[in-house]
Structure formats: C-alpha cells, structure tokens
C-alpha cells in the first residue's frame, strides 16, 4: 500500500431534521470503521430517534474499486489547497461536515463545511462517503 493518505475521515453532523449522523474512518489498507449515531438506516423522520441508542460501530473493508474512486476524488480536490471552513452561517439548521485527511508525509488537513456545499467537488465527495454506508459490507462490532 503506497498511499499518500495515511488516514481519511469524514464526519457528518446533525441538522434540524433527519440528516444522518455518522463518522467513517478509512485506512490505506482499505479497512474502515463506521460509527453510526442516528438516521443512517431508518427511513423517515421521528424526533424519538434521538431517544434511541446510537446505531452502533461497524467495521468493513472498502471495495478496491470504491477505494480507488475515493483516492481519485481526493486527488482531484487538491486537498491541501482547500479552505479550512466553508458555509454560510446566516442560514440555520444545516448539517456540518468535517473532512480530516492525514497524509503519509506527516501533515494533515481539516475542512469544516457548514451546509456540505463548500465546492462542487466537495459535495461529490460527501455523497460518496454517504453512499459508502449502504454500498459496502459492514459488520456490527458494538
């Protein structure tokens, strides 16, 4: 594994409605951890969802084709040149995403995006992460 990314992490926060709340961490060997809080697997919105326990922690191995697509998406973003923060704070009730990238050279980059629409390429990356919750094989570990 000769990746320039030593750890890739995406976290999606809460919004006023039923935005999925989760964090996914992916390593260069394609092993991944999905920490699912709420609204990841349920259909429809219920305020009672917040009273339920978190959905759980899951482990999996990202399919090679999907991992390669992720690397391409990141490479096309030129991660190190991204802003630290995106989003229009005058609008309320939107979800915030956090993209944290650790590079093999020891550097790292964090991007906070209120509303998840920082750039078109970032929005595409977020959708990719959100799709991973459903198009990979996950095993619940707790």
The answer to whether residues 8 and 29 touch, using CB atoms and an 8 Å cutoff, is no
Low-confidence ranges of the chain (pLDDT < 70): 1-2, 42-47, 49-50, 89
Cβ contacts of 56 within 8 Å, gap of 6 or more: 36, 140, 141, 142
Q: Looking at residue 59, what is its pLDDT?
A: 98
CATH topology of domain 5-141: Mago nashi protein (3.30.1560)
User: What distance in Å separates the CA atoms of residue 31 and residue 66, rounded to the nearest whole number?
Assistant: 12
Q: pTM for the full model?
A: 0.89
C-alpha radius of gyration, the chain, whole number: 15
Q: Looking at residue 90, what is its pLDDT?
A: 74
Q: Looking at residue 16, what is its pLDDT?
A: 80
Q: Looking at residue 71, what is its pLDDT?
A: 95
- Long-range CB pairs of 43-48 (<8 Å, 24+ gap) are 44/18, 45/17, 45/18, 46/18
Half-sphere exposure of 22 (CA within 13 A, CB side): 25
Q: How many CB atoms lie within 10 A of CB 39?
A: 22
Q: Looking at residue 15, what is its pLDDT?
A: 84
């Amino acid at each position: 594994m000769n990746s320039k990314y030593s750890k890739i992490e995406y976290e999606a926060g809460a919004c006023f409605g039923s935005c999925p709340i989760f964090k996914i961490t992916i390593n260069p060997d394609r092993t991944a951890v999905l920490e699912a809080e709420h609204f990841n697997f349920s259909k429809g919105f219920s305020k009672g969802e917040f009273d339920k326990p978190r959905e759980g922690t899951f482990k999996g191995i990202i399919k090679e084709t999907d991992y390669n697509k992720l690397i391409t998406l990141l490479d096309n973003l030129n991660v190190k040149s991204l802003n630290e923060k995106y989003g229009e704070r005058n609008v309320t009730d939107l979800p915030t995403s956090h993209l944290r990238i650790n590079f093999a050279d020891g550097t790292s980059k964090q991007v906070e995006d209120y509303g998840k629409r920082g750039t078109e390429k970032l929005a595409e990356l977020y959708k990719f992460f959100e799709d991973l919750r459903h198009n990979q094989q996950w095993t619940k570990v707790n």
